[in-house]
Structure 1
Amino acid sequence: MSRSRVLCVSADRSTRASLTLSLTDAPVDVIIAQRFVDAIDRLNHESIDAVVIDARTIANTAALVDAVESGTPTFVYQETDGDTGAVLARVTTPAADDESATRLSNTITEHIAAGTDAELPTEPEGDAGGSATADGTVAAERDLPDDLERLVSRVRSRLVDATSLLTVERVLREELTDGDRFAFVWLGEYDRRERAIIPWLSDPDATEWPLQQTFDIGTGDHPLLERVIRTRTLRTHQYDADTSGAVPFDDRAFERGVRSVAAIPLAANGDLYGVAVIYATERLSEHERDAVRAIAEAASHVLETIAVRGRLEQRERTLNRYERLVETAGDGMYVLDDAGHLMTVNDALVEMTGFSREGLLGEHVSILFDPEDIEAGKTIIRSLLASGESTDTLELSVETKAGATIPCEVQIAVLVPDGEFRGSVGVLRDVTERKRQERKLRERNERLDAFARIVSHDLRNPLGVAQGYLDLFEETGDSGYAAKTRNGLDRMESIIDDVLAIAREGEWAADTEPVDLESVAREAWAHVSTAGATLSVTETMTLSADRSRLLRLLENCFRNSIEHGETTETVRIGPLENDERPDAARGFVIEDDGEGLPAKLRDELFDPSASTSTEGLGIGLWIVREVATGHGWSVVATESESGGARLEFELDAQFSD
């Protein structure tokens, strides 16, 4: 078992020897420091279990006590004659007395064994208020003289409506200095970070005392204030012309007839709100000390009320800002308890889901999310708790009251006050538009890939054919081969025109307008080499379309019928019948009487990967599909009554996301 270390701070050899001798049989090691700076160095760099300070030989005792780590038993060792103040515990016999040193050693070892920093009982101090006990309370409440009772009553009465620190300062200053008993009063706040007392000034012009400054604590410059901060009890100080440094304004106070000073903490329920410093023209009597305590107690309760009210108002403002933020947020927000029940929802979530607030609160989160998404959310929460991270995101779907689903991204944060998991917070963002854009980008990329495959295939075929006929022409000189070569080049030019149209025009339905089907069909027919075939318009109709794009669609359909039908004589175009409404067409149809399409290709005809024809079947019909899709139409390949090809275009097609 390791031995406890006791630091003895004394410049007197006999004191050090007495203490060391008295602790010979105790399970402790005595560490010696002869000066203040030596003690501070040991406290900063060594493990110390208890401290004994010889106040008779060590200056700045208060500062040294203040430097001792909280919880370490600390004892000030001094004689009874004189008053050096700053006592946590003391022995009332001379330092060199063996019996007193033995008693002190016993007390030290008892406190070390108990592991506490409890103070030794003290005898009444000449400057501490007579009947005050060690913790500063009055042993028995005494009846105050009438004038002091009236003073306390006036202060209490004026403090009833006080709502600010400066009001408390003004009331105490005005009431205490109204008579001849007290010359001056000031109040200050203890700034723990700066380790300084900062005076409150409700009326800087009301006093000639220079209070526009701060008073450092812990430096030993103001020992009376330091004792008050440390012990939280009333402390008094008497001085004359030869006394200085105990409290602020010593010289000025003495010149103005001040002969004693009382400093008392303004504290309640363990919280220190300030310090009141009162300068008196005579030594304070027991009754005056009691009156000061009563006034300080009343002021302390008022300051506590002001502080509590301030904290509540701050909390309310914070809560209001939070609520406004939550309610005005465009994203849906919710709070779940640790079992996954909805505890809070905002207006955006209510609007998003279609549920009422009452319909959501208290319900399990499964009312909004499916089991897989809930399990994914639990996994994220477990990960956050294990890693200590603050937030993470998850993509999921929110189910509305109407049964629809909304793709969302949720940012999840866990609630772990005091290290205990209490629930989670989620911020839901509707990503429908983002998903739509992602889908469009994905489809566009797929189209580009298909486009590249089709172009490389369909351009290579006619080029190869043209090169073959050109070789035969050079070998034989037969002009028939030259004509076939020219046909291949013409086909390549047609393909290039379509490619340029795609590259330049981009979207396949930019500007729509009412278009007459027969008019645009005949114009498209005139653009195509139709040999001996004829165009038959069974009936016209008006449809909303981008005329230039529709023209290209019809050109490709007609060219496909002529070039791939081989025996095609007639190409017919007209409305697509509507079985539910005979008087209103549901689209239009293009069919021919040629050889028709192989059954195995009909289902794949508008799949870009189906570009297998040596004559370039793919790109023409791929353009047909793209134009139709750009207009929101669907296209289906089937067989006509004569056995030829039939393409049905439905105008009000429904597409899934």
Structure 2
Amino acid sequence: MIGQERARSAADATTIPDTVSVLLVDDEPGFADTAASVIEKRDDRFDVTPATDAASAFGALETDAFDCIVSDYEMPGTDGLEFLRRVRDRYGDVPFVLFTGRGSETLAGDAIAADVDAYLPKHAVDDPYEALASRVSEVVSDAAVDRRLEHTAARLEALYDRSPDMIDIHDADGRIVDANRVLATELGYDREEIIGMNVWDIDEELAPEEAAETWRGLATDETLRLETTFRRADGTSIPVEVHVRRVDVQGRDRFLASSHDISERKAYQRRIERENERLDEFASIVSHDLRNPLNVLSGYLRLARETGTDSYFDRCERALDDIEGLIEDVLTLARQGDAVDSPEPVAFGALVEAYGRDVVESIEREGAEGDEAAEGEVAADGEAAADGEGIDVIVEADGDVLADPGRLKRLVENLVRNAAEHGGDRVVVGDLDDGFYLADDGPGIPTDRRADVFESGYTTSGTGTGFGLAIVERIAEAHGWEVALTEGEAGGARFEFTGVERP
């Protein structure tokens, strides 16, 4: 109904109106009219509509909205308290003043029980009209304040529960007294479980003594920003940024903590750190590792010019080959570190058989070329290169793995070549429960040097650049795999790759 909607819209207002619309109900026509006239003259904010019974009052409520209703108690047909109950049922919490000539403790108790906003006996004051105007102002003002508080509380509750951040409130002892839905969901708890827990039950890095000291150091309304790690109910962890604010709640210290997941930010920071490490690594390579073959090139070029001996030019050419190989490995090292976003099923055994054979043939060709070069150098300086020898690749792996085919190929090539360069005759490739391994029968790697072999530029071979195993580690990291170096059954090196997914 129109009157019901208007009464409710007035009750929903959050400010005191400039004009206070009052419905005054009294069964004495002279008194109602007089009261309306006097009240309006005493305070020009009031606009008073008189009614002589409940029926005419409901008629007025159907067409107009009122900020306050004033009613006598004794009226024909319906008394003031029954009128109040019907008003509450139909129009909600419109401020209601019971203004009656019959005053008693019993009636006062009944009025309070019926939830009147004010009870005012006419005979209890010297100027009933002035007292009524004052009391109406009070109840309208109080109602507006209550509505503002309810409105604010509703907004805060909406912000609290609908916030994308994890929010909790804890006391000075660290006990969580409230938590929003997001915190419970993100950490895998029911909201009721979190309430009553201590902050350090979910914050892995927070020590109770340090926390108490930190909180004591905060001034009221001061905010502290920090980064920490939250522990979920299942034992996993997430990095978070937390903003803790000290607030006063009815004279008690409370701490409002708003937290959000910063996993993506941390991942980005780690990526930037890795890129910076690569830049430092490349700078070291350019300033150090390239200098040696350049010095060799410069020296043999000078000798070739001074003596005219062709074999020195051959040495220059090999130095250039070394430089080219070093540059290629550095570029490969840079590219292989990028994460593999879209791995695909790869028949691992077939890949090893195909590309392992290619590496063996390549090593054999290089050995033959080395023999030819050595024959030409014996006459020049009496030195000869070692003969290249082949290597057998035994495939015992079965099934597919999820990987980048090109990078997996490079990983296999580097490991087979590493075995050949260090005196191995046989490489065995097999499956693990969650990955695969590659083991050779070479001399192996001492335990105290196994951590060094994955460093860029580290080599014990006279022909390698020292980047082969660093590239292998980068390829594994790009796939999210772990690589470990152990001793194989034949005493050689065994490289184990775990965390490998299969289709």
In the alignment, the residues of structure 1 paired with residue 489 and residue 141 of structure 2 have an alpha-carbon distance, to the nearest angstrom, of: 93
The equivalent residue for 1:629 is 477
In the alignment, the residues of structure 1 paired with residue 260 and residue 410 of structure 2 have an alpha-carbon distance, to the nearest angstrom, of: 41
Which of the two has greater helix per residue? 2
In the alignment, the residues of structure 1 paired with residue 494 and residue 135 of structure 2 have an alpha-carbon distance, to the nearest angstrom, of: 91
Counterpart check, 1:650 vs 2:485: no
Counterpart check, 1:408 vs 2:236: no
- Seen in structure 2, the aligned counterparts of structure 1 residues 179 and 444 have a Cα distance that, compared at 3 Å, is closer
- Seen in structure 2, the aligned counterparts of structure 1 residues 353 and 506 have a Cα distance that, compared at 3 Å, is closer
In the alignment, the residues of structure 2 paired with residue 636 and residue 446 of structure 1 have an alpha-carbon distance, to the nearest angstrom, of: 22
Q: Which of 292, 302, 310 is residue 461 of structure 1 equivalent to?
A: 292
The equivalent residue for 1:552 is 410
The equivalent residue for 2:256 is 425
Query: Aligned with 1:395: secondary structure?
Result: strand
8 Å contact kept, 2:22–2:46: no
Cα shift at 1:647: 4.4
Counterpart check, 1:446 vs 2:277: yes
In the alignment, the residues of structure 1 paired with residue 240 and residue 35 of structure 2 have an alpha-carbon distance, to the nearest angstrom, of: 75
| Consecutive unaligned residues in structure 1, runs of 5 or more | 1-161, 190-197, 204-289
- Seen in structure 2, the aligned counterparts of structure 1 residues 544 and 530 have a Cα distance that, compared at 3 Å, is farther
Per-residue deviation, residues 130-155 of structure 1 (Å, max 9, x unmatched):
xxxxxxxxxxxxxxxxxxxxxxxxxx
Query: Aligned with 1:311: secondary structure?
Result: helix
The equivalent residue for 2:438 is 589
The equivalent residue for 1:51 is none
- More deviation, 180-189/492-501: 180-189
Query: Aligned with 2:177: secondary structure?
Result: strand
Q: Which of 326, 331, 346 is residue 500 of structure 1 equivalent to?
A: 331
Cα shift at 1:571: 4.9
8 Å contact kept, 1:409–1:431: yes
Largest Rg, 1 or 2: 1
Counterpart check, 1:575 vs 2:427: no
The equivalent residue for 1:332 is 166
Query: Aligned with 1:488: secondary structure?
Result: helix
- Seen in structure 2, the aligned counterparts of structure 1 residues 473 and 560 have a Cα distance that, compared at 3 Å, is farther
Query: Aligned with 2:290: secondary structure?
Result: helix
TM-score, structure 2 normalization: 0.64
Query: Aligned with 2:356: secondary structure?
Result: helix
Q: Which has the higher contact order (CA 8 A, sep 6+)?
A: 2
Query: Aligned with 2:452: secondary structure?
Result: coil
The equivalent residue for 1:50 is none
Cα shift at 1:413: 1.0
| Consecutive unaligned residues in structure 2, runs of 5 or more | 1-9, 12-16, 50-123, 368-387
- Seen in structure 2, the aligned counterparts of structure 1 residues 300 and 524 have a Cα distance that, compared at 3 Å, is farther
- Seen in structure 2, the aligned counterparts of structure 1 residues 636 and 461 have a Cα distance that, compared at 3 Å, is farther
Cα shift at 1:307: 1.9
- Seen in structure 2, the aligned counterparts of structure 1 residues 376 and 441 have a Cα distance that, compared at 3 Å, is farther
Per-residue deviation, residues 543-590 of structure 1 (Å, max 9, x unmatched):
33222223333343344444x43x55x3535224x4xx6xxx831315
8 Å contact kept, 1:514–1:545: yes
8 Å contact kept, 2:176–2:195: yes
- More deviation, 178-187/436-445: 178-187
In the alignment, the residues of structure 2 paired with residue 403 and residue 298 of structure 1 have an alpha-carbon distance, to the nearest angstrom, of: 65
Counterpart code for 1:626: R
Counterpart code for 2:415: C
Cα shift at 1:605: 0.6
In the alignment, the residues of structure 2 paired with residue 342 and residue 329 of structure 1 have an alpha-carbon distance, to the nearest angstrom, of: 18
Cα shift at 1:591: 2.5
The equivalent residue for 2:191 is 357
Q: Note the 1:110-121 alignment, pairs <5 A.
A: none
Cα shift at 1:407: 2.6
- Seen in structure 2, the aligned counterparts of structure 1 residues 553 and 324 have a Cα distance that, compared at 3 Å, is same
Cα shift at 1:468: 2.6
CA RMSD in angstroms comes to: 4.1
Per-residue deviation, residues 459-503 of structure 1 (Å, max 9, x unmatched):
222222232333333333333332222112112112212333445
Per-residue deviation, residues 311-345 of structure 1 (Å, max 9, x unmatched):
11221121111111111112221112343322211
Q: Which of 379, 396, 408 is residue 228 of structure 2 equivalent to?
A: 396
TM-score, structure 1 normalization: 0.51
In the alignment, the residues of structure 2 paired with residue 181 and residue 514 of structure 1 have an alpha-carbon distance, to the nearest angstrom, of: 91
Cα shift at 1:626: 1.0
